[in-house]
């Protein structure tokens, strides 16, 4: 695996994350500066600071990503769609939305399909990328497959393992299962608990093409120490 991925490619998979409720303006400024300096793909933030981070990154190729219905997913479809549209207006390049886990646990796949369809459609209209957060720690393997099968039809850009705020984060088994289910139709993002290079590379090996983490700098530094700047 390490022979097939360069430092630049690895950094370009990182969604540099700051989702704490108490994060201050100076921390968002630092997040954006770091993302630009290290060549990360995106800053992953809540929807409120999107406009601010768009300004910080106005001359940078780094994307601004808004977390929608975060972290519980327990808002209506209409509210989530409105949040997507507001985030687009504020300058978001991507959105990561949390599914309504309760509706999935109730077996209401029609709701999950409608929610995904409307949110992905809003993102497409705004010409931005969309990611669907399953929050796998609460789901059975059957439920994970069900959401991924819907995603294979609706075609968001990514399915994502976790918010990082649940009872567990990304696992290799989940990444493999999700990738096996969506195939090449949708990409997979691993998030939650990715704190070192070994874990990051294992997630990529399992099929992840994005990594949501607040440890991106540590991961890149470990890569440099182990393999140099290649």
Q: Active-site residue numbers? A: 96, 160, 189
Q: Give me the residue label for tokens 């968002």.
A: 28
Contacts of 140 (CB under 8 A, 6+ apart): none
Contacts of 27 (CB under 8 A, 6+ apart): 18
Q: Are strands 14-17 and 42-46 parallel, antiparallel or unpaired?
A: parallel
DSSP H or E run through 176: helix 172-182
Q: Where are the alpha helices (DSSP H) in 70-164?
A: 77-90, 101-105, 109-125, 141-154
Task: Count Cβ atoms below 10 Å from residue 54 Cβ, excluding itself.
Answer: 18
| Long-range interactions of 187-190: CB distance < 8 A, separation 24+ | 187/157, 187/158, 187/159, 188/158, 188/159, 188/160, 188/161, 189/15, 189/96, 189/131, 189/158, 189/159, 189/160, 189/161, 190/160, 190/161
| Of residues 76, 116, 125, the one with CA closest to residue 96 | 116
């Amino acid at each position: 695996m390490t022979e097939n991925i360069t430092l630049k490619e690895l950094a370009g998979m990182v969604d540099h994350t700051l989702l704490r409720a108490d994060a201050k303006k100076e921390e968002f400024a630092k997040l954006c500066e770091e993302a630009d300096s290290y060549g990360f793909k995106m800053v992953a933030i809540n929807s409120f600071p999107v406009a601010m981070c768009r300004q910080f990154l106005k001359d940078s190729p780094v994307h601004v990503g808004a977390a929608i219905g975060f972290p519980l997913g327990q808002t209506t479809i209409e509210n989530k769609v409105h949040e997507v549209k507001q985030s687009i207006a504020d300058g978001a390049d991507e959105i990561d939305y949390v599914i309504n886990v309760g509706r999935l646990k109730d077996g209401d796949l029609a709701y999950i399909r409608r929610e995904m369809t409307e949110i992905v459609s809003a993102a497409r209209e705004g010409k931005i990328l969309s990611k669907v957060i399953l929050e796998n720690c609460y789901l059975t393997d059957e439920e994970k497959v069900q959401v991924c099968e819907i995603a294979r039809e609706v075609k968001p850009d990514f399915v994502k393992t976790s918010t990082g705020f649940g009872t567990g984060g990304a696992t290799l088994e989940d990444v493999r299962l999700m990738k096996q289910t969506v195939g090449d139709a949708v990409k997979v993002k691993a998030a939650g608990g990715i704190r070192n290079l070994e874990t990051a590379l294992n997630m990529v090996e399992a099929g992840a093409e994005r990594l949501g983490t607040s440890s991106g700098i540590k991961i890149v530094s470990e890569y440099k120490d182990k393999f140099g700047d290649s």
